[in-house]
Structure formats: structure tokens, C-alpha cells
Structure 1
């Protein structure tokens, strides 16, 4: 499901900076449901780091573990 290039670009963005769900949707052009599915999948795999910021409720970022995980996939 997550093999399209748009997901790889989004994962690259997440590995560099924290993004909220709206930013992920805006940057990728994916539907809100697709962004939520990706967040859910990454969270289930324990690959997300969640940070709280006053201006945004939640931001997600992929820790340095991502390159190792991508090699396995």
C-alpha cells in the first residue's frame, strides 16, 4: 500500500522535520484517510516520535531508525 513515491517523499520529510497531519496532507497531496493510515501504520510499528507544540496539537517525526526499517522492507 505504501510503495508509491509520494509515500517515500513524505517519509523523507518526516525523517528531517516534525510535521502535523495537515502539513503531511498538504505536502503530499494524499487524502486525509491515506495520511491517517500511514500515521497509524508507522505508529503500530513504533517508528514515530510524537511531539507536542503550542501552535499544533501533535507533530510526528521519524527517528533515525527509518533507514534501517526501509532496508528491511
Structure 2
């Protein structure tokens, strides 16, 4: 986080740009569960249990949790904040690229292999 801008609120991610890679990156937090909590009645839904299950297996981001659970991001954020207040989470920073095409790498490799293989092996 850039501390030269004291007027900006805490937790504001400032976009950084490097002329060598020309890709914008911003930090995103990933969370992992350290212990299984007892949930209060508002959190007895399957979606919250799915969040706990995902977080117990690997580090996940808030958008990933919102996608897999079907909950709104605000609901996921408040649930994660509740878990963090109980000391049940490990946080780490993850650098996410802005490019959509960075996620298409496996598809490009498959296409290259499919096109370059001889017809007999297809």
C-alpha cells in the first residue's frame, strides 16, 4: 500500500503499473479457515457451510466464495469478517492480473497441441 497518499482511506488498493509488463495488478486477499466454528442460527444455511468447506481446503478470495456459494458479496464479506473477528482465518495477499487473456493460457496450449498433432493421433 502506498503511504504517500494520507488522504486516502485505509485499505484502498492503489493500482500499480509497470512499463516492463504493462499489466495492471492490485492486491487481493485470500482466506483460509483454521478451525471449524459453531455457527449461529442465521448462518445454518447450506451456502455458509459450503463457504466453510471451501475455505477449509484452500485459500480463496471473496469473489470465488460469492460465486461458489451463490450469496451476495456483501453477505460473504460480513461472514468472513465474523470469522476473522473470532480468529479463525489466515489471510494472505494474492496478486491478480487485470488481463482476461491470462486465464486463457491452458486453452491456448490445448489448441496448439490439437493443431500440431498428426491426423492419426487425433
* TM-score, normalised by the number of residues in structure 2: 0.44
Provide the residue aligned with 1:71 in structure 2: none
Cα deviation for residue 10 of structure 1 reads: 1.1
Structure number with greater CO (CA < 8 Å, separation at least 6) is 1
For 1:10 and 1:39, how far apart are their aligned partners in 2?
9
When the two structures are aligned, how many residues end up with a matched partner? 56
Asked if 1:22 is matched to 2:47, the reply is no
1:66 paired residue number: none
| Distance in 2 of aligned mates of 1:39 and 1:3 | 15
SS of alignment partner, residue 81 of structure 2:
helix
Please list the CA deviations of residues 24-68 of structure 1 after superposition, one character each: whole Å capped at 9, or x if unmatched.
101111011110111110010000100112228xxxxxxxxxxxx
Give yes or no for the alignment of 1:49 onto 2:90. Answer: yes
Name segments (4+ residues, structure 1) moved above 6 Å: none
Bigger Rg over Cα: 2
Flag structure 1 segments of 5+ consecutive residues without an equivalent: 57-73
Superposed CA RMSD: 1.3
Say which structure is richer in helix.
1
| Structure 2: distance between partners of 1:54 and 1:31 | 23
Task: Give the whole-Å Cα distance in 2 for the aligned partners of 1:2 and 1:37.
Answer: 11
